[in-house]
């Protein structure tokens, strides 16, 4: 028996909005969308946002509202040679996943956008600041779309259920929305799966056991990749072990490379904990080695241990800040000559020039401390390092303070 198109067409396509009034979400840019849709000439746009938030749907709606001929292609499937052949006679090009084109390939669009030969409506899940060339970006209006809220997803789920002729409890819609993680496409896939279940198994309690396990989407090259690791590090810096563990779990469950995570933890152990707990760096290095040795999935064990340790550790960014202060001095004023008494005299001529003359070898003095200057004379007395009064740092500094008081 020949299947009707409705039987094979994905639900997401079957209920795709046909007007802006039916488009769900993105209230923060509605005014701009309305303005673009009513303009005499649609500007070229870049729709940037996470999967399943409506980028392609919005591009299609805007193209149809112009009444002009349009072509829709996906960058991974469209070579430039084939694209050149398809463009003549088209007014609008809808290009999904622009970031899949290399920077050199993106240059193809510069002259045709400059002359107004075509209007480009492109979509991307990656931060355009890094994935799109500066020249092309300057020719596009960027609209940043957000992932859909739970309420908006329930709206989509209700509409999908009506299309399928399926009765679902409100709590079941809410459960599907929670599982979708802001992605309408994932939601509708779950809804289609639910519609195939016997009616008695569509209640919230039964759905928990009946629905397939959802694999958390990992966008390693997109914004979520950096947002999650940023949240992890900031939670550690803020001494919140619960939040840090949550973001660690988000990264691991999304399939993030564990070596990327441990490298970030190593940086945090030195940048954020530093001399507040000098042992933190050793623990971080040990965690990195442990994860390399045992692999995944058990690698989460040392990573979670280290994450909690770093979150609970006394915090000090004094060495991190000290370096940047010294760096600023060098960049603004250039490196000053090293004092003669600190230079190594490796030749007789250098000895004649005074290299090494007057240098006091600290180990020849009580407590291995010699009263001499080490900074260039122009910077004498300059302080780059300003210690924090917490953790191990005061103990480490106490040894030095006894000599500084005597100077």
pLDDT tens, residue by residue, 97-116: 888 888 888 888 898 888 88
Distances 166 to 50, 157, 159, 171 between C-alpha atoms, Å: 28, 11, 10, 14
| Largest CA-CA distance found in the chain, in angstroms, rounded | 101
Mean pLDDT of 72-95: 85
pLDDT at 4 exceeding the cut of 60: no
* pLDDT computed for residue 207 by the predictor: 77
For residue 15, is it left (φ>0), alpha (ψ between -120 and 50) or beta? alpha
* Structure tokens, 195: 């519609």
Lowest-pLDDT range of 224-228, 268-272, 302-306: 224-228
How many Å is the Cα radius of gyration of the chain? 30
pLDDT at 405: 59
Token pair for 25 = 């979400």
The CA-atom distances, in angstroms, between 261 and each of 50, 246, 356 are 22, 13, 46
For the cut 90, the answer to whether the pLDDT of residue 226 exceeds it is no
Average pLDDT over residues 321-330: 92
| Distance in angstroms (rounded) separating the CA atoms of residues 270 and 317 | 8
Residue pair 302/287 in contact by the 8 Å Cβ criterion: yes
Q: Which residue has the higher pLDDT, 5 or 340?
A: 340
- Alpha-carbon distance of 403 to 249, in angstroms, equals 48
State CA 377 to chain mean position distance: 45
Q: Report the pLDDT value the prediction gives residue 286, as an integer from 0 to 100.
A: 97
Lowest mean pLDDT among 2-11, 23-32, 174-183: 2-11
Per-residue confidence (pLDDT) for residue 407, from 0 to 100: 54
Residue 135: half-sphere exposure toward Cβ, Cα within 13 Å: 12
Q: Please determine, for residue 234, whether its predicted confidence score (pLDDT) is greater than 50.
A: yes
Q: Environment class of residue 53 by beta-carbon count within 10 Å: exposed (0-12), middle (13-18) or buried (19+)?
A: buried
In this prediction, residues 342-370 reach a mean pLDDT of 88
Structure tokens belonging to residue 347: 């030749």
Q: What is the mean pLDDT of residues 388-401?
A: 82
Q: What pLDDT score does 10 carry?
A: 79
Task: Tell me what pLDDT residue 8 has.
Answer: 65
Is the pLDDT at 45 greater than 80, yes or no? Answer: yes
- Confidence bin at 1 (pLDDT 50/70/90): very low
Give the span between the Cα atoms of 343 and 351, in whole angstroms: 10
395 pLDDT above the threshold of 90: no
| 225 — pLDDT class (breaks 50, 70, 90) | low
Residue 5 pLDDT exceeds 90? no
- Predicted confidence (pLDDT) at residue 7 exceeds the cutoff of 70: no
18 pLDDT above the threshold of 50: yes
pLDDT at 262 over 90: yes
pTM above threshold 0.75:
no
Extract the runs of DSSP E, i.e. beta strands, from 261-311.
none
Asked if residue 208 has pLDDT above 90, the reply is no
CB of 133 closer than 8 Å to CB of 107: yes
Give residue 60's pLDDT.
92
Q: How confident is the model at residue 219 (pLDDT cuts 50, 70, 90)?
A: very low
Could you tell me the pLDDT band of residue 199, with boundaries at 50, 70 and 90? Answer: confident
Contacts of 117 (CB under 8 A, 6+ apart): 111
Instruction: Measure the CA–CA gap between 25 and 301, rounded to whole angstroms.
Output: 39
Q: Can you name the residues that pair with 121 across neighbouring β-strands?
A: 45, 94
Residue 215 confidence (pLDDT): 45
In the structure, what pLDDT confidence band is assigned to residue 293 with cuts at 50, 70 and 90? very high
Q: According to the model, what pLDDT value does residue 114 have? A: 85
Average pLDDT, the chain: 85
Q: What is the pLDDT of residue 399?
A: 74
- Which residue would you say has higher pLDDT here, 281 or 4? 281
As a whole number, mean pLDDT of residues 144-155 equals: 89
- What pLDDT score was predicted for residue 327? 93
């Amino acid at each position: 028996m020949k299947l009707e198109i409705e039987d094979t067409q994905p639900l997401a396509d079957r209920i795709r909005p046909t007007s802006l009034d039916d488009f769900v979400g993105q209230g923060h840019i509605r005014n701009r969308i309305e303005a673009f849709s009513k303009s005499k000439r649609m500007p070229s746009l870049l729709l940037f946002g996470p999967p399943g938030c409506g980028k392609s749907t919005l591009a299609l709606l805007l193209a149809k509202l112009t009444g002009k001929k349009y072509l829709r292609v996906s960058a991974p499937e469209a070579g430039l040679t084939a694209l050149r052949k398809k463009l003549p006679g088209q007014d609008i090009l809808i290009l999904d996943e622009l970031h899949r084109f290399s920077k050199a390939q993106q240059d193809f669009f510069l002259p045709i956008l400059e002359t107004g030969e075509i209007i480009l409506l492109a979509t991307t899940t990656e931060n355009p600041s890094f994935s799109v060339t500066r020249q092309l970006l300057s020719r596009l209006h960027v609209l940043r779309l957000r992932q859909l809220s739970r309420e908006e997803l329930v709206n989509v789920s209700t509409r999908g259920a009506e299309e399928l002729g399926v009765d679902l409890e409100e709590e079941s819609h809410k459960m599907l929305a929670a599982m979708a993680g802001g992605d309408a496409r994932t939601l509708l896939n779950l809804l289609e799966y639910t519609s195939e279940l016997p009616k008695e198994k569509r209640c919230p309690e039964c759905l928990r056991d009946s629905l397939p396990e959802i694999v958390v989407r990992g966008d390693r090259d997109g914004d979520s990749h950096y947002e999650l690791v940023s949240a992890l590090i900031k939670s550690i810096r803020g001494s919140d072990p619960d939040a840090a563990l949550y973001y660690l779990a988000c990264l691991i469950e999304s399939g993030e490379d564990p070596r990327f995570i441990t490298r970030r933890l190593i940086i945090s152990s030195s940048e954020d904990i530093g001399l507040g707990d000098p042992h933190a760096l050793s623990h971080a290095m040990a965690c990195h080695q442990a994860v390399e040795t045992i692999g995944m999935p058990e690698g989460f064990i040392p990573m979670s241990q280290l994450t909690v340790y770093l979150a609970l550790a006394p915090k000090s960014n004094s060495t991190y800040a000290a370096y940047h202060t010294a760096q600023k001095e060098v960049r603004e004023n250039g490196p000053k000559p090293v004092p003669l008494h600190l230079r190594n005299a490796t030749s007789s001529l250098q000895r004649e020039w005074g290299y090494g003359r007057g240098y006091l070898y600290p180990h020849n003095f009580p407590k291995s401390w010699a009263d001499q200057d080490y900074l260039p004379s122009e910077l004498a007395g300059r302080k780059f390092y300003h210690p924090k009064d917490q953790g191990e740092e005061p103990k480490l500094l106490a040894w030095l303070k006894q000599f500084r008081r005597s100077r």
